[in-house]
Amino acid sequence: MMNRTLRFFLINSILLLSIQGTAQTYAKNGMVVSSDRTSSEIGVEILKKGGNAIDAAIATAFSLAVTHPAAGNIGGGGFIVFMNRDGKVTTLDFREKAPLAATPDMYLDDDGKVIEDSNHKTAKAIGVPGTVAGLYMAHQKYGKLSWKELVQPAIDQAEKGFPFNWSLYRAANRFHEQEDGTEFMKNYFLTKKGTIPEPGDLWKQPQLAETLKLIRDKGRDGFYKGSTATKIASWMKENGGLITKKDLKKYEAIERKPIQGNYKGYDIYSMPPPSSGGVVLVEMMNLMELADFKKAEFNSAAHLHLLIEAMRRAYADRAEHLGDPDFNPDIPIEKLTSKAFAQKRFAGIDMSRASVSDSTKYGHPYDGESTTHLSTMDKFGNAVSMTYTLEYSYGSKLGSTELGFIFNNEMGDFNPQPGITNSRGQIGSQPNLIAPEKRMLSSMTPTIVGKNGKPYLVIGSPGGRTIINTVFQTTLNVLEFEMRIDKAIEALKIHHQWLPDQVVYEKDLLSPDTRKILESMGHTFRERYNMGALMGITYDSDKKLMTGASDAAQPDSGASGY
């Protein structure tokens, strides 16, 4: 038998050889970029069969629920931005909802304080999942191939297995060794023999395959009704969760008008509330349109200062105003995304000094991993930008072994303590307080930039509150600094979110000289290894050429095209 170390080395080398990294991938007929290369390839197979960008996104998303369970899911929720071949844009909201039994103070102790981690690490943190309803609605309204054809590849991957990759291998070991981890995650990756698969071994998920078969055969009802709904509801009852069969039956995805902005002749389309992504992105792009980049070259202190001051202002507005629009009918979206508002906001920026975030006002903590983004384009000229999530990496880390998928912990995106906003980052503002059936505020920013009515850039990222900023900088890198998509994705990213009043930056990518200049202007810094995992496509409509690139932060990710 082959020596274990040698086998390890060989598989490692094979996997490394096949990694496309962030090098650009070109295609003329169709492109899919996602967090898992095998899932991107499944999307491309759907395109080759005559499917459109929506079909490819649906098949890729179901596949990611199998291959990238840290964030790919059927137990979470997300958003789609869709530009059709005529340049018309719509969005689908399949964000999770608070269960009917949820209340604004459900995470508080008798003294009115948040019980630590209760909104993230308990069965009560699970929101009513939206993914299956969202993908089903996308198919009903805009799909081309049959629903069955789109779900089947994921079933095959779950049933017959797919090569266990390094990300999964590392996660499996981590969960196995974790003393305070959940039983569900400890056992999640194990083979029938009770062992962790080796990298390259075929990993099978028979329970997940059965759950997916019901979705294949019965559509959304295969998840929200019948035996899956019964099993979810009884698991909730046994484990202290709130979701009932009624919650599941009542869940609906919603089609919404996109947030629209423009930057120097490009049209920007992104996600409206309950995501904060589109509003904050457009506000920041409007601010950038007023900047003079001849005096603020890429990565100069002046450039970074402008980014930070735009972020500070837009995130303060986010915290004050944004929440589920069905519960907050008066969100001033038009004002926040207007050029006139940007003029006023821009006038307050002092190019020689950092502004001060007022600690009596708004702010929010950073998020951990993980969410995932995918971008697709087809030969007909349709494009899809889709981000979906379980909130944390592997969500609540809870699930029913009978069903084989992981539940989200998205309730943690609500403001947990009414009225309490502090400089540590907790927000207590009204628009995002918990209420039955309300959708929690998101930062996911699936975005499509159009030029002359055709897609020009399809982009998005995971990263919690950093998402809006990484999408913002990548978009600016492409539109203003005319960077290639792979360069735009890999370039330095910084993050400021109003409170805490500090700039987070990617280690090794910010010049210490520049940092010192910015520090002398009053900015404070904190380093982080990496930010975001952007998955993007640019399109040259004259040459009909698609260029895709995925973030090197995710070693198993990849752009695939034909």
Catalytic annotation present for 371: yes
Instruction: Give the distance between the most distant pair of CA atoms in the chain.
Output: 71
Angstrom distance (rounded) from CA 109 to CA 117: 12
CA 470, CA 532: separation in Å to the nearest integer? 6
Nearest CA among 310, 271, 266 for reference residue 494: 310
Smaller CB separation from ligand DON, 243 or 467: 467
* Cα-based distances in Å from 309 to 226, 346, 414: 51, 9, 26
Nearest CB to ligand DON, comparing residues 67 and 443: 443
How many Å apart are CA 487 and CA 505, to the nearest integer? 17
Q: Which amino acid is at 229?
A: A
Q: How far is the CB of 527 from ligand DON (least distance, A)?
A: 18
389 makes contact with ligand DON (CB under 6 A): yes
| Binding residue for ligand DON, selected from 462, 536, 558, 561, defined by CB under 6 A | 462
Q: Closer CB to ligand DON, residue 78 or residue 558? A: 78
Determine contact, residues 126/407, Cβ cutoff 8 Å: yes
Question: Which of 269, 323, 327, 265 minimizes the C-alpha distance to 445?
Answer: 269
Q: How far is the CB of 469 from ligand DON (least distance, A)?
A: 12
Stretch that binds ligand DON, among 191-199, 341-349, 437-445, 452-460 (CB under 6 A): 437-445
**Structure token digits, residue 151:** 């779900």
Q: Specify the amino acid at residue 428.
A: G
Shortest distance (Å) from residue 442 CB to ligand DON? 3
Per CB under 6 A, the segment of 22-30, 49-57, 328-336, 459-467 that binds ligand DON is: 459-467
Residue nearer to ligand DON on the CB measure, 45 or 317? 317
Residue type, 88: K
Task: Point out which span in 256-264, 418-426, 442-450, 497-505 binds ligand DON (CB under 6 A).
Answer: 442-450
Q: Check the CA dihedral 245-250-255-258 and report its sign.
A: negative
**Shortest approach of ligand DON to residue 462 CB, angstroms?**
4
CA distance 216 to 453: 35
> Both tokens of residue 322?
């944004």
> Which residue lies nearer to ligand DON by CB, 348 or 368?
368
Selecting among 25, 244, 371, 447, the annotated active-site residue is: 371
Q: Taking the chain, what is the end-to-end CA distance rounded to the nearest angstrom?
A: 39
391 binds ligand DON (CB under 6 A): yes
What is the per-residue burial (b if ≥16 Cβ within 10 Å, else e) of 330-362? ebebeebbbeebbeebbeebeeeebeebeeeeb
Please pick, from the candidates 63, 131, 370, 376, the single residue that binds ligand DON as defined by CB under 6 A: 370
- Quick check: 367 binds ligand DON (CB under 6 A)? yes
**Residue 506: phi, psi to the nearest 5?**
-80, 120
User: Which lies closer to ligand DON via its Cβ, residue 60 or residue 497?
Assistant: 497
Complex with ligand DON: residue 371 or 432, whichever CB lies closer: 371
Stretch that binds ligand DON, among 222-230, 323-331, 461-469, 541-549 (CB under 6 A): 461-469
Neighbours of 290 (CB within 10 A): 15
Residue 40 found at the interface with ligand DON (CB under 6 A) = no
List Cα–Cα distances, 105 to 423, 532, 553, in angstroms: 21, 32, 38
The token pair at 545 is 């050429």
Which span sits near ligand DON by CB under 6 A: 21-29, 241-249, 452-460, 462-470? Answer: 462-470
What span, in angstroms and rounded, lies between the C-alpha atoms of 445 and 472? 9
Q: Give the range of 40-48, 308-316, 457-465, 472-480 binding ligand DON by CB under 6 A.
A: 457-465
Check binding of 464 to ligand DON (CB under 6 A): yes
Chosen residue from 83, 291, 444, 459 binding ligand DON by CB under 6 A: 444
CB of 176 to ligand DON, least distance (A): 22
Given the rule CB under 6 A, which of 155-163, 197-205, 328-336, 436-444 is the region that contacts ligand DON? 436-444
Note whether 435 and 260 are within 8 A (CB): no
CA distance 224 to 249: 5
Distances (CA, A) of 352 to 309, 449, 520: 11, 32, 10
Q: Which amino acid is at 137?
A: M
**Residue 239 CB coordination number (10 Å):** 17
Q: Which helix (H) or strand (E) holds 385?
A: strand 383-389
369 interacts with ligand DON by CB under 6 A: yes
Cβ proximity to ligand DON: between 317 and 413 the closer is: 413
Give the count of beta carbons closer than 10 Å to the beta carbon of residue 147: 20
The single residue among 421, 442, 474, 557 that binds ligand DON, judged by CB under 6 A, is 442
Decide: is 519 part of the binding site for ligand DON (CB under 6 A): no
Q: Using the minimum distance from each CB to ligand DON, give the nearer residue, 214 or 281.
A: 281
Min separation Cβ 154 and ligand DON, Å? 22
Of residues 452, 410, 197, the one with CA closest to residue 324: 410
Contact with ligand DON (CB under 6 A) among 413, 486, 501, 506? 413
* Residues touching ligand DON, count (CB under 6 A): 15
Nearest distance, CB of residue 406 and ligand DON, angstroms: 14
Considering the complex, state which of residue 134 and residue 464 has its C-beta at the smaller distance from ligand DON: 464
Q: How far apart are CA 556 and CA 21, in angstroms?
A: 8
Minimum Å gap between C-beta 388 and ligand DON is 9
Figure out which of the listed residues 371, 376, 477, 554 binds ligand DON, where binding follows CB under 6 A.
371
- SS3 assignment, position 44: helix
Q: Which of 400, 443, 469, 538 is the binder for ligand DON (CB under 6 A)?
A: 443
User: Considering only 179-187, 238-246, 364-372, 544-552, which stretch makes contact with ligand DON by CB under 6 A?
Assistant: 364-372
CB nearer ligand DON, residue 35 or residue 560: 35
Report the nearest approach of ligand DON to the CB of residue 94 (Å).
12
3-state secondary structure of 212: helix
User: Which residues are identified as catalytic?
Assistant: 371
Chain residues binding ligand DON by CB under 6 A are 367, 369-371, 389, 391, 410, 413, 442-444, 462-464, 467
